[in-house]
Structure formats: structure tokens, C-alpha cells
């Protein structure tokens, strides 16, 4: 199975919020992303509402043609937004107001009780849950114990590696955690920092089901357009999958 491409449109909203105006509209960007081959759309409704707003969640839930994945911290306010708008699935992430972007995976072991409650809350609504975690086998096992449906392995350390040797080391960690994910019966996703130069190795990991990519696609879309930027990323993922299955 070719991994699905989830396109994160948060940074379209970042540009809009810079002027507190109405453009560019993430809803329009989603239309072009889907035309370019996006398999799903990912948005992160942060506590400080720095980019995506409730309005975006509401309209996208009504208009999106592919599944809508909502990234969210485990807070009472966000859980109520989940209950009201019912995204197709939820990915729980850690969140700090001072960070520029999500800096690491959620510590499921440390926050076991709140994670368990949040997963149960979503399951009662019929919403599958993915956990955004570092590529650590103990964290993967904890997600399985708490009845998560999927894990999204944080690829930041791999993407930010300053040498080829370090990148290779981080890829090994990703593959190890991926193997544990599949062994635990969880769906395997990856994301954070992936771009047109580093996505191939991750897309080729066995049993990879989904890659969520935002900043790199939006950055390229500024220059060449959203539809083409998404299409180029999708072609890299398809090619990586095909190469892994060559005799």
C-alpha cells in the first residue's frame, strides 16, 4: 500500500493571521491540495489559536473531500471542539505556547491517565485516535496498552540531523519503532520536518501507512502553487513505495 499523504495547511492560516485578515484562506488551499493528490488534510487547532481558528475547523469539516485529521493537545477546550465538530480522526500532540512548532512527541507514559481519558472520550464519539510520539518502543507499547488506534512517529530528529551518519542513526530508530508499532497492531504514521529531500527513506519504511507534511509543501506552494507542490510530494512517496517492492 502506498502511504497516504496528509497535507497540513496550518501555515496558510499563519500567513492570514499575520494581518488578522481573510486571506489566504486555508479552505481554498485545501481544495487545491486535494486536486494535487492529498489523501487527507491535517490541521492543528492550538490553544493560543496562532493559526487555525474554530471557523476553519467548522468549514473544513463541512467541505473537505478527504478525511480531516485534527491535531490537538489534551485540554478541556479542545476536547469540546472535537465533540462539536467530529473530525474524521484525532492526533493528540504535546503543546507549549512558547514553541515555534511542536518540539517533540507526547510522553504517553508520563501522562498515562490523561491520555487514557482522551482516547476513551474520542472512542465514545466514534473517532479513531493517533498519538504523536517520539520513535521510542516503550512509548509505542504504552499507546497500544491505552487502546490508541495509531501512532505518528515524530521525525524531527531525523529531519534535523546535521550529518549523514546522524540521519542514518535516526532512521534506524524510526525503523525500530515502526516495527514495534506494527507488532502492537497499531497503524503506522510519520511526520514533522519531512521535505522533498528527506521523505523518500521514511516513505519506504515497511508498513508505512501515512505521512503528514506541512511546512515544506506550503513553502514550495508559495513559489509554484499548491496543486503542483502536493503533486510533486505525492510522486516521491509513490516512487519510494514502488522502489521498495522492486525484485
Active-site residue identified among 11, 34, 44, 154 = 44
- State the number of CA atoms in the 13 A half-sphere of 129 facing the CB: 26
The Cα 123–Cα 205 span in angstroms is 28
Q: Per DSSP, what are the bridge partners of residue 153?
A: 133, 190
Of 117, 154, 116, 114, nearest in space to 133 by CA:
154
Which residues, other chains included, contact 172 with Cβ-Cβ below 8 Å and sequence gap of 6+?
none
Q: 10 Å Cβ neighbour count for 84? A: 11
Of 127, 157, 43, nearest in space to 93 by CA:
43
- C-alpha 202, offset from chain centre: 14
The Cα 84–Cα 51 span in angstroms is 20
71 is catalytic: yes
Active-site residue identified among 170, 187, 192, 210 = 192
44 is catalytic: yes
Q: 10 Å Cβ neighbour count for 101? A: 12
Active-site residue identified among 34, 51, 71, 154 = 71
Please answer whether residues 221 and 9 qualify as being in contact, where contact means their C-beta atoms are separated by less than 8 angstroms. Answer: no
Active site (catalytic) residues: 44, 71, 192
Amino acid at each position: 500500500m502506498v502511504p497516504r499523504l496528509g497535507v497540513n495547511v496550518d501555515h496558510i492560516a499563519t500567513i492570514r493571521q499575520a494581518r488578522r485578515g481573510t486571506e489566504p484562506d486555508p479552505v481554498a488551499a485545501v481544495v487545491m491540495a486535494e486536486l494535487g493528490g492529498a489523501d487527507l488534510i491535517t490541521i492543528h487547532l492550538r490553544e493560543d489559536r496562532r493559526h487555525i481558528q474554530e471557523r476553519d475547523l467548522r468549514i473544513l469539516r463541512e467541505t473537505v473531500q478527504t478525511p480531516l485529521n485534527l491535531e490537538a493537545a489534551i485540554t478541556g477546550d479542545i476536547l469540546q471542539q472535537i465533540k462539536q465538530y467530529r473530525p474524521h480522526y484525532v492526533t493528540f500532540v504535546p503543546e507549549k505556547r512558547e514553541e515555534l512548532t511542536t518540539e517533540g512527541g507526547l510522553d504517553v507514559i508520563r501522562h498515562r491517565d490523561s491520555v487514557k481519558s482522551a482516547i476513551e472520550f474520542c472512542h465514545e464519539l466514534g473517532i479513531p485516535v493517533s498519538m504523536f510520539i517520539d520513535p521510542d518502543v516503550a512509548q509505542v507499547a504504552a499507546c497500544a496498552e491505552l487502546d490508541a488506534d495509531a501512532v505518528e512517529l515524530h521525525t524531527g530528529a531525523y529531519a534535523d540531523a546535521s550529518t549523514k551518519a546522524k540521519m542514518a542513526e535516526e532512521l534506524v530508530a524510526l525503523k525500530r519503532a515502526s516495527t514495534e508499532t506494527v507488532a502492537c497492531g497499531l497503524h503506522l504514521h510519520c511526520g514533522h520536518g519531512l521535505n522533498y529531500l528527506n521523505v523518500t527513506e521514511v516513505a519506504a519504511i515497511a508498513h508505512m501507512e501515512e505521512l503528514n507534511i506541512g511546512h515544506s509543501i506550503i513553502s514550495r506552494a508559495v513559489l509554484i502553487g499548491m496543486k503542483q507542490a502536493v503533486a510533486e510530494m505525492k510522486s516521491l512517496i509513490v516512487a519510494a513505495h514502488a522502489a521498495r517492492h522492486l525484485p
